Amino acid sequence: QVQLVESGGGLVQAGGSLRLSCIASGRVSTTSVMGWFRQAPGKEREFAAAISWFGGSTLYQESVKGRFTISRDNAKNTLYLQMNSLKPEDTAVYYCAAGFGRRSSLPSEYYYWGQGTQVTVSS
């Protein structure tokens, strides 16, 4: 089992920045990929970014490319999402997820999920 706990969400004005963190515990070494997903009210959960634990290769959704940066600290079992130039349409609950395969934008490829952290961007 792997437990994931997100933090760092909040209210920010458009153009501002936030840094999300996700601390993983348990059998983290069994996972190979971590990702961030988000879900806005009334919408389906969508992919934001993913990173492999080893090698650090990344994958981004087109709408966040150049504004968001995903990174990880293997020693701390912590995943980050630095979000800059935030827009009102980035408002959502952001979820951390862990999986066993390659980097993927598909929620079905991730086995473990955190409870989420709310990000609200005001215009």
Question: Is a pLDDT exceeding 90 seen at residue 56?
Answer: no
pLDDT of residue 117: 98
Question: Is a pLDDT exceeding 90 seen at residue 61?
Answer: yes
The whole-angstrom distance between residue 85's C-alpha and the CA centroid of its chain comes to: 16
Question: Is a pLDDT exceeding 90 seen at residue 68?
Answer: yes
pLDDT of residue 72: 94
Q: What 8-state DSSP symbol labels residue 64?
A: G
- Place 53 in a pLDDT band, splitting at 50, 70 and 90: confident
Nearest-angstrom CA–CA distance, 55 and 95:
22
102 to each of 61, 105, 120, 122, how far by Cα in Å?
16, 10, 30, 35
Mean pLDDT score, 92-114: 94
Question: Is a pLDDT exceeding 90 seen at residue 55?
Answer: no
